[in-house]
Structure 1
Amino acid sequence: MKPLLVVFVFLFLWDPVLAEMHKKCYKNGICRLECYESEMLVAYCMFQLECCVKGNPAP
């Protein structure tokens, strides 16, 4: 019974995490687990995700 409860809770909480990952954020960026090399970090989203914007930071 406990494994079924754990699976149910995981599935119930996974949708908000996925929705947050693909959410638009500051300066028209997108929330990701980690920014790509061609992107720069401009802010942080919920769940410790990074708000990434295309382009490299100025030196």
Structure 2
Amino acid sequence: MGYKVTVDEEKCTGDGECVDVCPVEVYEMQDGKSVVVNEEECLGCESCVEVCDQDAITVEEE
């Protein structure tokens, strides 16, 4: 069982909070936006969802 992680580029302001809070480095900053680079590592903790003030991140069970 894994997780599908998406970042809405339209909403993302690039503050990097999700990059900082993620315990398994699912995200990295590219061109001023957060990008999902290690989706298979996602634990489903949703820490990123909680810190994203823009509601740009969704984490769904697959």
If asked which structure has higher relative contact order (CA below 8 Å, sep 6+), I would say 2
Does TM, normalized by the shorter one, top 0.5? Answer: no
Band the TM-score falls in, shorter-chain normalisation: under 0.3
Q: Say which structure is richer in helix.
A: 1
Q: Give the number of the structure whose alpha-carbon radius of gyration is greater.
A: 1
TM-score by length of 1: 0.28
